[in-house]
Structure 1
Amino acid sequence: MSSLDIFTGETIGTAVLILLGGGVCAAVTLKRSKAFNAGWVAITFGWGFAVLTGAYISAGLSGAHLNPAVTVGLAIKGATPWGDLPVYFAGQLLGAMIGALLVWATYAGQFRDHLTSAEAVELKSANPGQVHGVFFTSPEIRNSVQNLATEVIATVVLVLAILTQSTIPGVSPDSPKGPGVLGAMITAFVVVGIGLSLGGPTGYAINPVRDLGPRIVHALLPLPNKGGSDWGYAWIPVVGPLLGGAIAGGIYQLAFA
Structure 2
Amino acid sequence: MLVGMRKLLWVVGALAVVLVVVLAAPFVYKAARGGDDTAPTVIDVEAADAAATDLDGTWVVVPGEPPNGTVAGYTVDEMLRGEPVTVVGTTNKVSGEAVIAEGVLETGRFEVDMGGLSTDIGARDEMARSADILDVAGHPVSTLEVADPVDLGAVPDDGTTATVPMQVNLTVKGTTVRTPVEVTVLRSGGQIIASGAIPVTWTDLGVEPPSLGFVTVAPNGTVDFRVALEKR
Considering Cα pairs closer than 8 Å and 6+ residues apart, tell me whether 1 or 2 has the greater RCO: 1
Larger strand fraction of residues: 2
TM surpasses 0.5: no
When normalised by structure 2's length, the TM-score is 0.26
TM-score, structure 1 length as denominator?
Answer: 0.25
- Structure whose alpha-carbon radius of gyration is higher: 2
Higher helix share: 1
